[in-house]
């Protein structure tokens, strides 16, 4: 594999490629072209070929890509052969939904510990996941060697909780709060703001769809004018 860092956009697409390749492999398909991948994952074939080129020669011109080899390659690249333990911080409504799901379809990730302030939750086991008090968080993160945390706490304690996660040795935080966290350079934060995503979607529907309608209207007017000539 190439030693240089790949673009972030490429890195974000790798799990998408891997999931579809697993489906192909499990169905018995032996080879796939970039065009077929493009149709399945909705990424243009030139982008797919460019993404793959960062890792060397993964395919053959005129043949395509060997599904089994490519699946195994991305499995290792995405560290699928190593189980990653994840902590869930905040076992509210969203937290319960995440515990119910608990990455069942992905073998290399598992929520192994939950943390909350509610006394009726602390000391219980939910879907096989023990729930601890937040007062025990730093200690348990270190004992269980947990590198990744999902943060679903109220906004007013988000930064305080993130500071404790850093103290516990966490290297990555998936942040479901609307607060933009301040963390050391060695800790990566991915923000998942559902309200922001929904507002963005509504904006695109309202504005870009109008542009599409205007474009279609202009094209129809042009065709009409041409037919009258």
Q: Are residues 94 and 125 in the same domain?
A: yes
Q: Are residues 94 and 159 in the same domain?
A: yes
Q: Are residues 113 and 186 in the same domain?
A: yes
The tens place of each residue's pLDDT in the chain, 229 residues long, gives 444 578 888 888 888 888 889 888 889 888 888 888 888 888 888 898 888 888 876 766 667 888 888 888 888 887 766 778 899 999 999 999 998 887 765 567 889 999 999 999 999 998 889 999 999 999 999 999 999 999 999 999 999 999 999 999 999 999 999 999 999 999 999 999 888 888 888 888 877 665 555 555 555 555 555 555 4
Q: Are residues 228 and 179 in the same domain?
A: no
Q: What are residue 5's DSSP bridge partners?
A: none
Last residue of a domain, one of 77, 96, 113: 77
User: What sign does the dihedral 85-90-91-97 (CA atoms) show?
Assistant: negative
93 located within any domain: yes
What element of type H or E holds 151?
Answer: strand 148-151
Report the half-sphere exposure of 89 (CA within 13 A, side-chain side): 33
What are the tokens at 215?
């474009």
Q: Are residues 60 and 97 in the same domain?
A: no
Q: Domain with 31 in it: what CATH number?
A: 1.10.10.10
Q: Are residues 169 and 199 in the same domain?
A: no
Q: What span, in angstroms and rounded, lies between the C-alpha atoms of 147 and 186? A: 12
Q: Domain with 130 in it: what CATH number?
A: 3.40.50.720
131 located within any domain: yes
Q: Are residues 161 and 209 in the same domain?
A: no
- In this predicted structure, what is the pLDDT of residue 191? 94
Contact 179, 159 (CB under 8 A): yes
- In this predicted structure, what is the pLDDT of residue 79? 72
106 located within any domain: yes
- In this predicted structure, what is the pLDDT of residue 90? 96
Collapse the DSSP code of 116 into the 3-class scheme (helix H, G, I; strand E, B; otherwise coil) and give the result: strand
Last residue of a domain, one of 77, 108, 134: 77
The residue segments making up the domain with residue 89 are 84-192
Q: What are residue 89's DSSP bridge partners?
A: 115, 151
What pTM does this model have?
0.67
- In this predicted structure, what is the pLDDT of residue 203? 80
Q: Are residues 89 and 58 in the same domain?
A: no
Closest CA to 114 of 88, 95, 135, 140: 88
What are the tokens at 92?
């509210």
């Amino acid at each position: 594999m190439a030693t240089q860092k790949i673009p972030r956009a490429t890195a974000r697409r790798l799990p998408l490629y891997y999931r579809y390749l697993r489906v192909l492999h499990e169905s018995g398909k032996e080879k796939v072209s970039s065009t077929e991948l493009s149709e399945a994952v909705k990424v243009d074939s030139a982008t797919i070929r460019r993404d793959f080129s960062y890792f060397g020669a993964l395919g053959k011109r005129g043949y395509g890509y060997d599904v089994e080899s490519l699946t195994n390659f991305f499995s290792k690249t995405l560290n699928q052969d190593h189980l990653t333990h994840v902590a869930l911080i905040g076992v509210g409504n969203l937290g319960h939904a995440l515990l119910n799901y608990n990455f069942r379809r992905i073998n290399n990730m598992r929520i192994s510990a939950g943390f909350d302030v509610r006394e009726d939750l602390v000391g219980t086991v939910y879907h096989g996941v023990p729930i601890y008090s937040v007062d025990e968080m730093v200690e348990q993160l270190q004992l269980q060697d947990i590198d990744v945390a999902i943060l679903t706490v109220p906004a007013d304690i988000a930064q305080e909780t993130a500071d404790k996660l850093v103290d516990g040795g966490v290297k990555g935080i998936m942040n479901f709060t609307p607060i933009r966290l301040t963390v050391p350079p060695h800790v990566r934060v991915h923000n998942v703001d559902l309200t922001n995503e929904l507002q963005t979607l509504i904006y695109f529907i309202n504005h870009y769809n109008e542009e599409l309608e205007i474009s279609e209207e202009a094209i129809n007017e042009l065709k009409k004018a041409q037919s009258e000539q």
